[in-house]
Structure 1
Amino acid sequence: MTKAVVITGASAGIGRATARAFGARGDDVVLLARGRAGLDAAAREVEEAGGRALVVPTDVADHHAVEAAADAAVRAFGRIDIWVNAGFTSVFAPFTEITAEEYERVTRVTYLGFVNGTRTALAHMTPRDTGTIVQVGSALGARSIPLQSAYCGAKHAINGFTSSVRTELMHQGSGIRITVVQMPAVNTPQFSWVLSRLPRRPQPVAPIYQPEVAADAVLQAADHPGRKQYFVGSSTAATLVANKIAPGLLDRYLARTGYDAQQTDEAAQQNRRNNLFHPVDDDTDYGAHGSFDQESRRRDPQLWASRHPALAAVAAAGAACGAVALGARRRGKR
């Protein structure tokens, strides 16, 4: 059955790849973002893939604009079945080098944009008592790193906000589901247009994954929203485990390595355009991918494990039994 899907941040990166993936299933896809060129190109891709597309230029920091976009979606496609919050912005700089206005802007887009989207989605889903909200989260929502305090703070807030809303829906016995997909570093155009005050060009922290891997996970979450969260990338799972076991040690490690890990060897371009207050893809389409294709992974064993938990558990048990047997044999030879 065709689904009516709304995606924020749909003009580039994860949102763009997710829009294409829903389009390939024949779904109706409503594309929300600020950049007109990116939105129009995304709409063409959705329709070429087999879906129908509706472009609604929207700044998700403006709740009135988000509500108007949802109304347009319902007028076009009759309902909203799935809402994907993926829009964000950021600043790469030490906290003391980010102005109050810049910090507020990141928070309004990256956190309140999700709040606005969730509130609006619930307003349309509640009368039908059905629907799914997928939050595109991040490993940085559980383990912060230097130089991205505004983004990390917003992603932490999304986790807390979503958990609260989930328990309220459970209390009400609602048929609406809400889940989070925790992402690793992804090869998106943000590193070409993010506001950065670093001396060298910003980059994602390896390992890096392609946006299609992230989009695949979003569709998995939309189809199976009963889980509280999904983890994409072995690095995401490993980071969260390490943060639970040895957070202080991880603090020291990131303090030592986190600055260089987020910068290439190339000097930063002076006076580069950024998308914090105004879209960069209003006149130029940047697509879904950033400039790190050669370093990016196209598959994710962690996502396979999420899809096949029983098989993953059997494999883990088999590996554990094998390790025990091997240890016993070695002890027997002594």
Structure 2
Amino acid sequence: MQLKPISQQVVAIIGASSGIGRLAALKFAQRGAKVVVAARSEPGLKSLVEEIRSAGGEAISVVADVSEFEQVKAVAEKTVAEYGRLDTWVHTAATGILAPFEKITPQEFARVVDVTLMGQVYGAMVALPHLKREGRGALIHISSVEGRRSLPLQSPYSTAKHGLEGFLEALRVELQHEQLPISVTSILPSVINTPYYNKVRTKLGVKPTGIPPYYQPDIVVDAILYAAEHPTRDFIVGDVGKILDLLQKVSPSLVDSLLLLVGFAGQRTTEPKSEDAPDNVFAPISGYDRVEGDFSNLAIPTFLDWLDMNPYLKWSALAFTAFAVFGTAMFLDGWHPRNEV
């Protein structure tokens, strides 16, 4: 399967007014792609398009709530009407509520699932007919490490991300069965320093936070840009996420114990915040149409992501490590080829 170079692509980015989506739009445009950006925040989209155009890029915007199928469909139709085709669909939109499960209402839980899961399903539904018409393309869905391991106080979001992983697995195999050269990628970020924790609803009595450490949004965007040109199944972004995924596979009960230690206090700041404070669960809020959040001081670099974007070096390094470990073990055990004669 071969995807077009980014400079030749038409890319639709959903959830682009802030955070990962906003930076992705800027980076795609810098690389020469024609970009269509969508979100609920009209001021955020307007400032983003102006920024792209002022730098010499091409972009248009569509205001859309991803929980409404017809509005998501309108994004795909506008993309094709303006640029004649669609090559890559990037879906980043999400919302959340940080609260104990018993404090979350049925309406709140359903809303998080509608935006964070069903919005992604609607995105794939409307993008696929256009990608099929082109004969190739990429669906890039922003999931989360919470799609592999749920966190306390985030049950609606974790539910949605687990559902997204199940959906993408089924869709990927169906497309393979049809022998359609359409790449389906799940990007699973660790804790990322975006305005997400400024905008979501909290019932903790304080401003919420992700469990540190954080990573900056650019590492997620690097993974998105990579997947837009290189068919990729899954991409866990951030070394901590990779470690958590491994621990979850080895011993879920160990991860339970770790989260009992850090999962509750680790998601609370000391800054008071009422549950009546403005949030973006049911409607957009102003003031956060930016890429980064408030936790740059807690951000660390990642090292292993580079290997995922250089698979030949990755597998060579793993093979070398395995050979070195095996050789060392044989040496310590007293084995030598002459011993076998």
With structure 2 as the length reference, what TM-score do the two structures score? 0.91
Distance 1:48 1:180 in 2: 31
Distance 1:330 1:206 in 2: 40
Distance 2:129 2:323 in 1: 50
Which of 285, 290, 296 is matched with 1:287 structurally? Answer: 290
> Partner of 2:308 in structure 1?
306
Counterparts of residues 1-334 of structure 1 (less than 5 Å): 1-225=7-231, 227-269=232-274, 271-281=276-286, 284-297=287-300, 299-320=301-322
How many pairs were matched up? 328
Query: For the Cα contact (< 8 Å) 1:12–1:38, is it kept in 2?
Result: yes
Query: For the Cα contact (< 8 Å) 1:41–1:285, is it kept in 2?
Result: no
TM-aligned CA distance change 1:165 to 1:321, over 3 Å: closer
Deviation at 1:96, TM superposition (A): 0.8
| Greater displacement, 12-21 / 201-210 | 201-210
Deviation at 1:240, TM superposition (A): 0.8
Deviation at 1:247, TM superposition (A): 0.4
User: Amino acid of the residue matched to residue 166 of structure 1?
Assistant: R
Q: CA deviation digits over 1:295-327, x for unaligned, max 9?
A: 213x42222010112212333444455566777
Gaps of 5+ in 1: none
With structure 1 as the length reference, what TM-score do the two structures score? 0.93
Query: For the Cα contact (< 8 Å) 2:135–2:181, is it kept in 1?
Result: yes
Distance 2:304 2:143 in 1: 16
User: Amino acid of the residue matched to residue 313 of structure 2?
Assistant: L
Seq. identity, %: 35
Q: CA deviation digits over 1:251-310, x for unaligned, max 9?
A: 1221232011111233335642100111013xx35301001112213x422220101122
TM-aligned CA distance change 1:260 to 1:321, over 3 Å: same
Distance 1:132 1:330 in 2: 49
Deviation at 1:12, TM superposition (A): 0.5
Distance 1:261 1:85 in 2: 28
User: Amino acid of the residue matched to residue 243 of structure 2?
Assistant: A
SS in 2 for 1:301: coil
Deviation at 1:53, TM superposition (A): 0.8
Query: For the Cα contact (< 8 Å) 1:10–1:31, is it kept in 2?
Result: yes
User: Amino acid of the residue matched to residue 240 of structure 1?
Assistant: D
User: Amino acid of the residue matched to residue 309 of structure 1?
Assistant: P
